[in-house]
Structure 1
Amino acid sequence: MKRLLIAAGGGGDAITAAMVHAALHGPDTPALVLTYAWERLVVDPVPGPRGAADFTGAPTPAPSLTLITPQTTPNAPAGSLLPRLAAHLRPALGLLDPYDGTLGLTRQIEAAARWCAADRIELVDVGGDIVARGDEPTLRSPLGDALALAACAATGIPTSVYVAGPGLDNEVPLSDLVPRLGEPAFALTPEDTDGVLAVFDWHPSEAGAMLVAAARGVRGICGTRDAPRPVVLDDTARQVHRLTCEEALRLSPLAGALDLCPSLEAAEKASTAVCGFSEIARERHRAATAPASSPRGRPSTDAATLLARFTTWERSRLAEGLDYVTTRRITEDLALTRPETRTLYRALGEGTPPRRVAPLWRLAKA
């Protein structure tokens, strides 16, 4: 028997699912996490999620069930971090393929439950957009979560919905989430993060990184990339809330609109009707209008030069009131190449005191 967990969104939710599993059942209890291959354009330049046909070397131990292993590869030009994630997480990974809508996802989840001999499902979301109303001005990516919620409900298998780190994804304001979620069920501890901490040396999930940091005792204001406001890391940020599937459905108009949805195209239309937008259409627009990268000159591998650039940038972030920043924020704000990234982070980690407060970076006040 394996525990069956569903990561409601992308890679960050798969990492969070591994932590929630460790907290609930212990890290060594066998488990399968079903997750989307739906990643940022910086990872996967093809808009939208990837389906089973987009991978080579993905085992299918049962009809409608596709596993992702370290040997699985995405078919170019698509990209995916899931195979690398499969090599680092203790739970096994399976693919959620949304191209046949809620109906297809329901078949996949039912197949996984049979394969795992699981009599219940644990659906995990970091941040809380799984209970979005749909009209929040900062809402960006509700579709995957709503599809997963609607599909779990359609299976008829008892499902618990876990929302970890409310507000960390900067999509639904914490003040809106608190009355919807009720009291926390438990809080993540440093021990719950041990199996995932090293993942953030390369994985870009900012919400997941902040959840890990909060669980490990980091407190302060953290700046992320492309977010309307910084995130407060306090004791709330490590809490996990539990809802029944029925409670979550009542809170999510989009999930309710996706009942019996037969395709991803139909799901997009439902998202536009309920939320006023389709996140996949937004991805298509960004991919089509992204400026061609222009060479910035020869990358510098001189640590002193890179540290000087970082220090100038750091002063501006301190003026914003930030205490910490994510790896992705530094890398993208400074437009670092891979060699520059390695050199700068090595220098920051070896400084006195070291800036690395895994998996975040501390800004040094004068």
Structure 2
Amino acid sequence: MTRLIVAAGGGGDAVAAAMLDAALYGDGDQAVILTYAWDRLLIDPVPGPRGADNFTGLELLTSAVWAVPAQARPIAPAGSTLPRLAAELPNTFALLDPHRGVEGVTHQLEQLVSHLEPASIDLLDVGGDILARGDEPTLKSPLADALTLAAACQVNAPIRLLVTGPGLDGELPADDLRPLLGPAVHTLTAKDVEPISTVLEWHPSEATAMLAATARGVRGTCEVRDAGLPVPLTDDGPRVHDVDLDDALSRNNLARTITTTTSLDEVEAHSREVCGFSEIDYERNKAAWLKNQPPTKLDPESVLPQLDQFEAEARSRGVTHTTFRHITEALNLDGSQRGPLRQLLINSRPEQYQAPLWHISDAMSDPS
């Protein structure tokens, strides 16, 4: 029987959806995962989400929904992790295209539900920012989640909202989210991570990396993003909570405001009004800045001393772990060097690799 999982924020939520599918439903028929193609600037140098016209090789599922098979390719200069996910995971990945606003996403959802007649529909968010009001000072990326939430609430079908890894996206603190969460329906384990373990070796999502790490028992404080945000890794991390969909909508001011939108531009305009910013504006500004940066060289001779300095400073802040994305940016390297840097560090200091995170060595083992 077909199941449908909607990855609320795209990117890492799609990977987490594949993990959750196996954890909750077993190894039988695989769920269809409906997700944005929105991989941020580490993978895709073009700001914002990609639409169907940014790919070749898509397969039509309905008149409004395309599947992204392994042979699909983003049209340069765009980038996307979805074809590789389709190649490495057994799920079908369907493209959620937000360029026609909430009305367009609602239409896509309705068509897919009608086409698949799924036995269950789950809307999954890693981190919990789908429960944001919109005015929280730590909120960074509310747009995608609000869009999918607004659309899901208009579909005439039973949809279960699941939040896992509360606080792990570094947006709303877990303590603030805890009163908003319903019962835990599952606690992810190391065994649950296995189906996506190879994907975690290359996928850039920090939230899903921390989700997997907490499921494997890692605890501490992980520093993430270009700003070096500290995220606690606690027993809350691997829990999957059921949340009332209507309660989420009543709390999410942006989702309620964008219900009748018919374009992504409209959604962005409302985000600027409700939240004070659009995350796509941030991507536009950062992309323009990156374009003007001189190319950097990955020099193994200088990387390890720079890493020692970074770790010493991180340790003084109480940090125990970090992501390879954060190390890449902390060492002033560009996103294309994340993979080679990761391999260099693992080969040089394998004892510090607590997959998929990097463990900050303690002072006694610090070579400096």
Same fold (TM > 0.5): yes
Mapped partners of 1:38, 1:150: distance in 2:
18
Q: Which residue of 2 aligns with 1:300?
A: 299
Deviations 1:149-169 (A, max 9, x none): 111111111111111100011
Mapped partners of 1:351, 1:332: distance in 2:
19
User: Would you say the 8 A contact 2:328–2:337 is kept in 1?
Assistant: no
User: Would you say the 8 A contact 2:228–2:326 is kept in 1?
Assistant: no
Deviations 1:297-349 (A, max 9, x none): x54245xx533332222211111111111111112212347997666544543
User: Would you say the 8 A contact 1:55–1:74 is kept in 2?
Assistant: yes
Deviations 1:79-131 (A, max 9, x none): 11111122122321010001111111112112222332215420000001101
Mapped partners of 1:235, 1:213: distance in 2:
11
Counterpart of 1:361 (choices 317, 338, 358) is 358
Cα 1:353–1:161 shift into 2, 3 Å: same
Q: Which residue of 1 aligns with 2:122?
A: 122
TM-score (norm 2): 0.92
User: Would you say the 8 A contact 1:299–1:337 is kept in 2?
Assistant: no
User: Would you say the 8 A contact 2:129–2:139 is kept in 1?
Assistant: yes
Is 1:238 matched with 2:235?
A: no
Mapped partners of 1:26, 1:16: distance in 2:
15
User: Would you say the 8 A contact 1:113–1:119 is kept in 2?
Assistant: no
Q: Which residue of 2 aligns with 1:180?
A: 180
User: Would you say the 8 A contact 1:28–1:90 is kept in 2?
Assistant: no
Partner amino acid for 1:155? V
Cα 1:356–1:228 shift into 2, 3 Å: closer
- Larger mean CA deviation between 43-52 and 160-169 belongs to 43-52
Extract unaligned runs of 5+ from structure 1: none
State the shift of 1:142 in Å. Answer: 0.7
Deviations 1:162-199 (A, max 9, x none): 11100011111222211111443321111111111221
User: Would you say the 8 A contact 1:159–1:244 is kept in 2?
Assistant: no
Cα 1:286–1:308 shift into 2, 3 Å: closer
Mapped partners of 2:41, 2:334: distance in 1:
17
User: Would you say the 8 A contact 1:5–1:122 is kept in 2?
Assistant: yes
Cα 1:356–1:118 shift into 2, 3 Å: same
User: Would you say the 8 A contact 2:328–2:335 is kept in 1?
Assistant: no
- The residue correspondences of 1:309-348 to structure 2 (distance < 5 A) are 309-336=306-333, 345-346=342-343, 348=345
Q: How many residues get paired?
A: 363
- The residue correspondences of 1:1-366 to structure 2 (distance < 5 A) are 1-227=1-227, 229-290=229-290, 292-296=292-296, 299-301=298-300, 305-336=302-333, 345-346=342-343, 348-350=345-347, 354-365=351-362, 366=364
TM-score (norm 1): 0.92
Mapped partners of 1:87, 1:174: distance in 2:
34
Task: Calculate percent identity across the aligned residue pairs.
Answer: 46
Mapped partners of 1:120, 1:363: distance in 2:
41
What is the aligned-residue RMSD (CA, Å)? 2.1
Extract unaligned runs of 5+ from structure 2: none
User: Would you say the 8 A contact 1:27–1:90 is kept in 2?
Assistant: no
User: Would you say the 8 A contact 2:42–2:336 is kept in 1?
Assistant: no
Deviations 1:199-237 (A, max 9, x none): 122111100000000001111111112356311111111
